[in-house]
Chains A and B, each alone.
Chain A
Amino acid sequence: MKQDFSELRLDRVTRRFAGAGGKAFNALDELSITVKRGEFICLLGPSGCGKSTALNCIAGLMQLSGGSIWLDDTRIDTLPPEKRGFGMVFQNYALFPHMTVAKNIDFGLRMRGMSASDIAPRVAKAVKLVQLTGQEHKLPGQLSGGQQQRVAIARAIVIEPPLILMDEPLSNLDAKLRIETRAEIRRIHHELGRATIYVTHDQDEALSLADRIVVMKDGVVQQIAPPPEVYGQPANLHVARFMGYRNVLALDVQHEDGDRVALEGPDIKLTGMRKQPLKGGKSAVAIRPEEILLGEGPGGANTISARVRNIEYNGRDSLLDVVTASGTVLHVRATGAMALGDNVRVHVPVDRVLVYPGE
């Protein structure tokens, strides 16, 4: 078991399952990524996208159907989990209910045959890191959900693993605790300076934690990029939808000029930026509600006329549903007084109209 490393390499990692009617399907299809020491990677996607499968494959809890996993020059996908030495935090914590907090945390060290005198300071350090001092002699059942979560984290990090794997560790916490623990996880990651692979279906979590995000769908990687790129420049329509581009319009392509594309619908004329090669004159245009602005665009460009159909007050701003004469609905995030039935003019900057091939 290695304590330190410089990179973890996944080479076309594939996992097949027998599906309905004996037909095999790929839960994970040729995932390739190199994780550097110190990096925080988020696997992001809806449930069933293969992100947990990927994590279990890395941990060794699931066998690969194809591909290989390397820790520097050592091939590890053939090793059982206990020989890999990665720390893992499970979604339901998986604390040992019959052991005290201290026994849970030192379990990994005891399994490594460390002496009691070596174990004590490391457990004390881990307990301090997750701020559980004074709780060492309680059973997991006597702790709150947030405390249990921190025991699970302490148990995984006390073995000082090269890699920490986290499977939706915050999904059982309430909203406030989730945000606090999120910051804790980021802090602990920095203090350890190793690598973390974190599975989530929550894009806010991924954006705030990750150095790089791996967006997945149906077992296939859609995009691997730093958060601003995934947020601002989704690689395809799936990623765009998942990252909150709620407006997806089917428009015809008029002409392409480099990456600039002129588009037209029944009563909408837009110019946008092409993100993928287009085919067949049809396009799907993705726009974020908060990037649609009230009023005319510069020189009347990219401007749409519509009527307010619904208003959802959100405090800082409101979410409007506006509908054009031909019935196209746009979701717009806007501030200011607005009433149902008002006629409005809205516009979108050219570089925030993302153009993908039509579906």
Chain B
Amino acid sequence: MSYSTTDQAKHVSVFRTLPVHLAIFAGLILLWEFVNLYGFEDRIQADMIAPRPTHIGLAMIDIFFIDKTVWHHLGSTFQKALLGASIGTVIGMGLAISATLSETFRKYIKPWIILMEATPRIAVGPIFVALLGFGLWSAVALAALVAFFGPFVNTFQGLMEIDEESEEMFRSLGASKFQTFWKLRFASALQLISAGWKLATASAFGGALVSEFIQASEGMGVLIAQYVIMITMDYAFAALLSVTIFGYILFKIMEYMDYHLIFWQNDLLMLKVSEKRRKKMGVSS
């Protein structure tokens, strides 16, 4: 059994390009620092428009380890985003599954989906705040609204892509509609569905932040807005950067899950899973 070299190649190229990436990054940071120091006549103006990276770094240390304000707000935004993503995913996938199973449902839901797609969903934010109040749930509602679309479209597309011959094979085995759905259609669609989950998480984050900008008492959106109002731009940038970092970590976790879920796309993983299945069935190699 030979496995493809793409995985190894990927690692090699990362090691080769990493120093270049770091150099570009360091250069930009340095440039920024100099622009702040020598590019403005007025110090206050300089710190407002382009706060020094070193100050942003210090602000990061402050909000994470000294003042520790950021944790509470990060937790709040994550809670809203993840709740919203989950609810949006359940609704989106539920609608998609119903739409693939019933042609009638598909027909009647179509204009509503087009309507939803045409509406800038973020704009519904203030209405949700009016309906559900300032608390957690208006934010979750907005996050869910912006999140549901990815899982909906991806699940629908994945389930509608039918391989005729596989369907015929299942039919020849006398499989029920239910069995064909789960064992064939759903499993085949998993790759697209999982991509939909990633989309949902990313957009739910945006939704949660926007709703915090509109009105909220806690969350990263609130924190960023507060720092901007107080004209402490280094802290505002630090807060923004924390969202980026934690968003990236979450995205990586989801990618890792996806990678293991769709294991049959990867030669190395297949070997591992193959060994596991052998043990599970109790057959020695």
Bound pair (A, B): no
